[in-house]
Amino acid sequence: MAPSQQAKSSKSVRGLLTGLAVAACLLASMSGASAQAPAKQPPAAPQTTTPTAPQAAPQAVPGFWDPRRRPERPDLSRLTVIRFLTETDYPPFNFTGADGNPAGFNVDLARALCEEIKVSCTVQMRRFETLVDALTSNRGDAIIASMAVSPQLRARVDFTDPYYRVPARFASRKDAVMPEIRPEYLEGKKVGVIAGSAHEAYLKAMFTDAELHAYPNDDALRAGLRKGEVDFIFGDAISLAFWINGTDSGDCCAFSGGPFVESRFFGEGIGIAVRKGNDVLRQALNWALFRVWEKGRYTDLWLKYFSVSPF
């Protein structure tokens, strides 16, 4: 969900898309995006517990599917039920709703996929660190929990195509917003970043003339921007979007420039995990993901849960 220190290898390391025309433009601009916030390796958890109210201004909804590469409808006759596994507390991606049932972006997307495939669907919530073991021991069929695709996880499970990615972005105080950011624009500027993160590695490789200031965690990083210790901060765009739109920011700050999505630094994206070799389910989910996006339901879900676009 919510909506990182790039990815959550553990719970402590977390902290989480206007129309199809905009999505198509973004798709064209993200050469590596076509195949995730709060990584599990997924993105850092957003600092809110419920989805925020949508803003009036339209926002960009990224698309990760190429309309020219429509997947073939697979044989769905062997599927009768899909037992989805998700995480217990990672709003707005997964959380317990007011009625006590699983809720969130991932949960709603799972149900939309089951409707498209026309099978029954269950959603069970578990602690994030137990999800892969539960899947491999056949206590579920698929994990939809903002799980970042990684070589380590690929050794244990198979993944669908990414259904979102976790971009990186710069944030600045509102009186110093820059519509575009290039390495030469930040020469001599003070840029805050989490020490030891993929975001720090990216800045060291690409923004060599910026003056980097390393912070131990997200709270210290964001406080540094609010207090003017740095001109910009750079980090996980999903968690930053929730901070910018939440009360903790004090309405101080906004995004500067656009998203950075280089997979070498920021990962392959967020996919649905299935057991190794379960190609029937993996292909069915890939087909259903495309259909849900093509029909506009993916856009509706993204706008429901994300009032400030990370893209």
Q: What is the pLDDT of residue 62?
A: 64
Domain boundaries, the chain: 11-165+268-305, 168-260
Judge whether 14 and 43 are in contact, CB under 8 Å: yes
Write down the H helix ranges in the chain.
20-29, 105-117, 131-136, 151-154, 198-206, 218-226, 237-245, 263-266, 279-294, 297-305
The rounded distance, in Å, linking the Cα atoms of 146 and 86 is: 8
Architecture of domain 11-165+268-305: 3-Layer(aba) Sandwich (3.40)
Q: What is the pLDDT of residue 306?
A: 83
pLDDT attached to residue 3: 43
Structure tokens belonging to residue 121? 């669907």
Residue 291: name the closest of 76, 83, 37, 93 by CA: 76
pTM tops 0.85: no
Q: Which two tokens stand for residue 47?
A: 């600092």
Amino acid at 219: D
Q: Which residues of the chain have pLDDT under 50?
A: 1-58
Do the beta carbons of residue 37 and residue 93 sit within 8 Å? yes
Report the distance separating Cα 4 and Cα 146, nearest Å: 12
Helix (H) or strand (E) holding 155: none
Q: Are 272 and 159 in contact (CB under 8 A)?
A: yes
Residue 61's alpha-carbon distances to 48, 58, 129, 174, 270, in angstroms, are 21, 9, 30, 23, 16
Q: Are 7 and 270 within 8 A, CB to CB?
A: no
The SS3 call for residue 11 is: helix
Q: Do the first three CATH levels of 11-165+268-305 and 168-260 match, i.e. the same topology?
A: yes
Question: Hey, what CATH class is 168-260 in?
Answer: alpha beta
